[in-house]
Structure 1
Amino acid sequence: MEERTRNERLPLREAIGELSLADNHPADVGSELFERAKDLALREDALLKLQVIEDALRRLEEGTYGYCESCGAPIPRERLEAVPYTTLCHACKERQEAKGVRRLRPVEEEVLGIPFLEAGDDLGYNQEEVWEGVAQHSLSTELEERGGADEIPVTREDGVWYQDFRPYEDPPADEP
């Protein structure tokens, strides 16, 4: 088992070797970073499964393999064939999933939480508050009240339209 673990780590070290930014287009660097992040996520998943398998082998040596860690009942053979590293019977696993228990994750996720997992009904800023904010700035709902391009004064004849709050006055002819 240790040799297999060691053999699986060698290609991973090669895959996540030095990530050089020299002579790379930014899009290529982005692709490399994505691939590296994917490799690291797959590695983490493989290490977690390896740890669970090693725990199952330890339970086999101790004589506790095949018994539910929660209720102590024997786990059915069909379940053990489907998921050999399981530690819970079907009923206990369903209870655990109903509670929302997750596998071990980084401590930051405990502080930050999972987005949209336990969102309550209090959104903090609802539609009524949005309308009140908009109504403070403008209550014109009719098309005629909004104004349009006809109200923009044309101030020069060079083809450029200018909008000003005071009328434009041509300079006197005697001034340059």
Structure 2
Amino acid sequence: MAPTSGNKENTDTPTPSKPTKKVPKAKKLDKKKSTHGPHAKWTSANDATLIHMLKDQQAKENQADNNWNAVVWTETEKALAGSEEKTNSGVKKAKGCNDQWSLLQSQTLTLQKMHNELSGWGWDNIHSMLVADDEAWDTYIKAHPEAAMFCSKPFPLLTTFFH
């Protein structure tokens, strides 16, 4: 039966039934969340252990052409075993040790570049920090936002990093 001019509803067409229960949607995998447990947290003490182990392994000639042998990362993982309890974080695995070393290298090179190439910048040996006046920091951070961490974070291991 066709609707009449005064009737806006078509009574011959059945109304779709609404489910009485909500059907749960399929969960999407969150790519940001790790399925391997909590992430490791690195402290200055952990970084010091890492650097000490690398120097020790270098003395044992476990480094070739600026690349570390696999045993280096396994030994470093062993040296850091238990540190996760102090930081209430994930275990520092061999791959994570390698990644942390790469991060430390990158940060150190950035600090050295800033110190050596920017006029008016210096190094505070007491606080182990790069220093400059506020205006210099503001200008630099506007151009290099990733460098913001360097204006307030000490790097006590920098002096021993390459020695």
Higher helix share: 1
The answer, yes or no, to whether TM exceeds 0.5 is: no
TM superposition score normalised by structure 2: 0.26
TM superposition score normalised by structure 1: 0.24
Higher strand share: 2
Q: Quick one: higher RCO (CA 8 Å, sep 6+), 1 or 2?
A: 2
